[in-house]
Chain A
Amino acid sequence: MAVLVVGGGVAGILAALDLARAGQPVTLAERFQHLGGQVARLDKIYPTDHCAFCPLWTDIRNCLDHPRITVLSSATIREMKKEGDRWAVRILREPPVIEERLCIFCGRCEKACGEGAVHPLLDQAYAPVYCIDAEKCTRCGRCEPLCPTKAIDLNRKTVEDRVVVREVLWATGFENGDLKPLPEFGYGTHPDILTALEFEEWTAESGANRGRIVRRSDFRVPSRIAFIQCAGARDSRMYPYCSSVCCMHALKQAEWVKRRIPDIDCTIFYTDLRAVGRDYFKYSMKDVPGDPIRLVRGRPGLVFALPGGGIAVKYEDTFKQERRIERFDLVILNGNLKPAPAPETGMGPSLLDGEGFVDTAVGFGCGFAVEPGDIMDAAVQAASASMRMIGRDKN
């Protein structure tokens, strides 16, 4: 009997492969159309400073090819009911308008669309397919007859799957939380104040700017960039925990800024510089082109747009006991990562703890859904959660 893995990011994919290779059939449900989760959207990963594409794509392909793994994409869990020692799960799938198996990526639909609603699924995803943005689509139908393989069906119906599984493994990962409860960071008040994930996408090599570092407001090259750590983390008002990955993430982004344009000054405002894993400390000490990355210990109290242009950051340099205001061209906020919602449908007593993490005393889980961590943490947890899962049932 199959087990259900919820979430097709790094954690879910690796868990599915581990289970399948040990002989356990797996149904893998992913809410987006593509596999790979957050890591697939990253431009570079630490500590390799390389794109995550190749190794991730290898495991995605292994997942899709494995005879014991059934991948359900564009799928959300609607209901889970315990029936004896198994779970009956209702999964709702919204098959994409452009069917993946039939799309040959010719792009005739994109050319025909007058609203710009058709675009490649994800630059970083490998299986190249087109998809239609439901919000922009006017359902004019111009694209449908043009598709040579008849992959487009504007009247695609949602499909409901009912599966009965032995166990459920939650690997739902993380997403950005709302920064509105923390107005001091000025998020939303100016285009040049962005979250780390937005900055990643903005400066991605395969993204809109082809790897160039420019401001969002006027597309000019910034001369000073501030990275603010623990913005929406280790904060009793919002998320009291540490998101674990942000310090290394800021170091990586700052390093790549310096690699591309050594003249840009990068400052990281931190609380504790948590570079803990293998060679992470060395990574934090790495030489970069141009001036070194400036590390300032202090959590800025105010970030606001200046009338003449630029962003002011008001902070206390705790090592100098000085309060200062400095002007930056771009401010990157690191933090505010929260576990993506794991539907609590029927798993109670509450599957999730107070912060939204999966309680492993109640259910199986791995990755950020259980505990903030990076790729390596997720990979280890995927393997160990899989082992615990098959260990439970001594069939």
Chain B
Amino acid sequence: MEEEKRKNRTELPKILVFACRWCGGIGAGRAGWKRLEIPASFRIIPVECAALVEPDAVFRALSSGMDGVAVLGCHVGGCRYNEANHAALKRLDLVKVLLDTTGIGGERLLLAFGTAHEDHQFAGIIRRFTDFLGKQPPLEPWTGFAKNADLRSEG
């Protein structure tokens, strides 16, 4: 049944990317300047800092039909908000554990903290993540965690 589902995937897996305004976002922008070809099945939500990515947002994304979530921030030691990204990294690592425990799979959350120069790295990350998620069975849409339950009723 799982195998069938996997084989029946025709679409590319859907990825939601949170990119910080600095290294994450600028790295992504550079990929554009270099015209690197990347699969088109990801969407970026820009955030000021990776610290702004709530664990809740990750759960909501995964329960809304996304196959994976990527969080791009600055190198550990390079965050301009006094290492706010350190705490973010730890927090999101815990989210991975939760995802593992609930059977969703921690590998569906990708954390990449790099530098603003890394255009090829950005392209590589998206390509590899797309590849990897394509080999996983699709997530059943489920009404799991939602910190703000009223959103569920809004569809």
Contact = CB atoms under 8 A, between A and B. Distances in A.
| A interface majority secondary structure | loop
Q: Which of B35, B74, B78 has most A Cβ within 10 Å?
A: B78
A277 interface: no
B21 to A, nearest CB: 10
Nearest to B117: A206
Interface stretch (A1-9, A51-59, A138-146, A372-380): A51-59
Contacts of B74: 50, 54
Given A120-B33, A128-B33, A205 B77 contact: no
Contacts of B18: none
Contact of A51 (B35, B116, B119, B121): B116
Contact of A205 (B35, B80, B118): B118
A126 B117 CA distance: 10
A43 B118 CA distance: 11
| B interface majority secondary structure | loop
B58 to A, nearest CB: 25
A280 interface: no
B117 A205 contact: yes
B53 interface: no
A291 interface: no
Interface string B24-47: 001000100101000000000000
Contacts of B116: 51, 53-54
Interface string B95-137: 0000000000000000000011111110000000000000000
B33 A43 contact: no
B33 A205 contact: no
B70 interface: no
B33 A51 contact: no
A50 B77 CA distance: 7
A58 B116 CA distance: 13
A280 to B, nearest CB: 15
Interface of A: 43, 48-51, 53-55, 58, 105, 107, 120, 123-124, 126, 128, 204-206, 210
